[in-house]
């Protein structure tokens, strides 16, 4: 097939872009390494699976797959509006919260403008920024000896805000560190930003937080017209395979986001499942309790092996070792265990490990013990 130098045709931001690397599926691992009965603790998925209410709702929807989904997501937006005590006009639906993060970059960023985020932030923030040709302004994270090591430093973030800043991304809890911000401090930070700056508070993992100290940023929307809150059904609700998330914002911001949102970006099964899952409080509580026990189990096990665990309010642990995380990851893969090396964040001696079931956690710890002993 004849080819050209397509790189020269691409826009500058895309030419230099390093795409997001997702966690390896178990099927891929088993094909490549010849292992069986592998487990995946790499992508922060819910080990309990999906909400039973969501699964039942999907079954009822199957007969209508020949129809296009509701482009406006009326019923899901209505349910979300009631859940958050907001007007449906405040909601933008996405193919996962990743989708709405990209919409924000498309709407508010361009060459010559800036986005501010922390050193160890979710990888999509810099990717979305670079994609549209905007300038990333990276604030140093809190030091390793801080009570929230590697977490967001709100003062450092604030100091990078300038006349060309349009977006500030703050994840609470943060991925990949698991660290969190006190809700009162974060609210003060949002209130301190000038009106030309949109603050995006990413709450993808908020359902796992054990403490109310993190707060609920969606309750601040009436006070701050420049606040956007993003949520997802991929984590605690267990709908990662369906890809559905949303943004909550002032209706004026939502109107702009919905202008760039593709009409059918959320499929009918995802709309139906999310609409059912949002009310399954019992499932979320079971997920939270399993996660709470798993954090204790993994931290105790990892620290017994000499690792250092970063405090986490999410459904994963970031652990530091005295050797390369990439090397440990490779050996774990050969043992049929998938975790996440985070060298792409500059954290070469760290692994991010999703909280699994007690049996999955034990298997990972056993495999790691054998590797470290050898």
Specify the pLDDT at position 268. 97
The confidence score (pLDDT) of residue 3 equals: 73
Domain count, the chain: 2
340 within domain boundaries: yes
Tens-binned pLDDT, residue by residue, of the chain (374 aa): 777 777 777 787 787 777 777 777 888 888 988 888 899 999 999 999 999 999 999 999 999 999 999 999 999 999 999 999 999 999 999 999 999 999 999 999 999 999 999 999 999 999 999 999 999 999 999 999 999 999 999 999 999 999 999 999 999 999 999 999 999 999 999 999 999 999 999 999 999 998 889 999 999 999 999 999 999 999 999 999 999 999 999 999 999 999 999 999 999 999 999 999 999 999 999 999 999 999 999 999 999 999 999 999 999 999 999 999 999 999 999 999 999 999 989 999 999 999 999 999 999 999 999 999 98
Q: Are residues 246 and 153 in the same domain?
A: yes
Last residue of a domain, one of 277, 303, 322: 277
Of 277, 300, 322, the last residue of a domain is: 277
CATH value at residue 254:
3.40.640.10
Pairing label, strands 114-118, 165-171: parallel
pLDDT of residue 84: 97
Question: 259: domain range?
Answer: 52-277
In a shared domain, residues 297 and 242: no
Does this model's pTM top 0.85? yes
Is residue 242 domain-shared with residue 297, that is, in the same domain?
no
Cis peptide before 176 (omega within 30 of 0): yes
Same domain, 176 and 309: no
Check whether residue 130 and residue 257 sit in a common domain. yes
My answer on whether 106 and 150 are in the same domain is yes
Tell me how far apart the alpha carbons of residues 48 and 315 are, in angstroms, rounded to a whole number: 12
Closest C-alpha to 311, from 293, 299, 300: 299
Task: Tell me which residue has tokens 């966690």.
Answer: 23
**Same domain (yes/no): 273, 290:** no
Which of 257, 277, 297 terminates a domain? The answer is 277
pLDDT (0 to 100) of residue 18? 76
118, part of any domain: yes
Contacts of 65 (CB under 8 A, 6+ apart): 268, 269
| CATH of residue 344 | 3.90.1150.10
Quick check: is 10 in a domain? no
pLDDT of res. 141 = 97
152 lies in a domain? yes
- Angle formed by the axes of helices 97-108 and 124-131, nearest 10°: 40
The answer to whether 29 and 38 are in contact (CB under 8 A) is: yes
């Amino acid at each position: 097939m004849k080819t050209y130098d397509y790189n020269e045709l691409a826009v500058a931001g895309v030419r230099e872009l390093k795409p997001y690397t997702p966690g390896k599926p178990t099927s891929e691992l088993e094909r490549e390494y010849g292992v069986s009965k592998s487990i995946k603790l790499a992508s922060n998925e819910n080990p309990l699976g999906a909400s039973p209410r969501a699964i039942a709702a999907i079954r009822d929807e199957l007969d209508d797959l020949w129809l296009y989904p509701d482009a406006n997501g009326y019923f899901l937006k209505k349910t979300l509006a009631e859940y958050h005590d907001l007007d449906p006009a405040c909601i933008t639906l996405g193919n996962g919260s990743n989708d709405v993060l990209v919409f924000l970059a498309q709407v508010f960023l361009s060459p010559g403008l800036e986005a501010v985020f922390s050193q160890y932030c979710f990888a999509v923030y810099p990717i979305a920024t670079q994609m549209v040709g905007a300038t990333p302004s990276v604030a140093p994270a809190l030091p390793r000896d801080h009570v929230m090591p590697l977490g967001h430093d709100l003062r450092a973030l604030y100091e990078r805000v300038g006349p060309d800043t349009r977006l500030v991304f703050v994840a609470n809890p943060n991925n990949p560190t698991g660290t969190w911000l006190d809700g009162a401090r974060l609210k003060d930070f949002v209130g301190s930003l000038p009106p030309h700056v949109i603050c995006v508070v990413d709450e993808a993992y908020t359902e796992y937080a054990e403490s109310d100290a993190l707060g609920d940023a969606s309750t601040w929307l009436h006070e701050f017209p420049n606040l956007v809150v993003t949520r997802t059904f991929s984590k605690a609700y267990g709908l990662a395979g369906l890809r559905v998330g949303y943004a909550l914002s002032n209706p004026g911001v939502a109107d702009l986001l919905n202008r760039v949102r593709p009409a059918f970006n959320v499929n009918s099964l995802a709309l139906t499942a999310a609409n059912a899952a949002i009310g399954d409080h019992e499932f979320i509580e079971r997920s939270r309790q399993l996660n709470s026990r798993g954090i204790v189990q993994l931290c105790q096990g990892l620290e017994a092996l000499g690792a250092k665990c970063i405090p986490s309010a999410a459904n994963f642990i970031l652990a530091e070792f005295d050797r390369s995380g990439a090397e440990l990851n490779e050996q774990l893969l050969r043992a049929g265990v998938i975790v996440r090396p985070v060298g792409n964040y500059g954290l070469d001696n760290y692994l991010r490990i999703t909280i699994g079931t007690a049996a999955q956690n034990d298997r990972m710890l056993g495999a790691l013990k054998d590797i470290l002993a050898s």
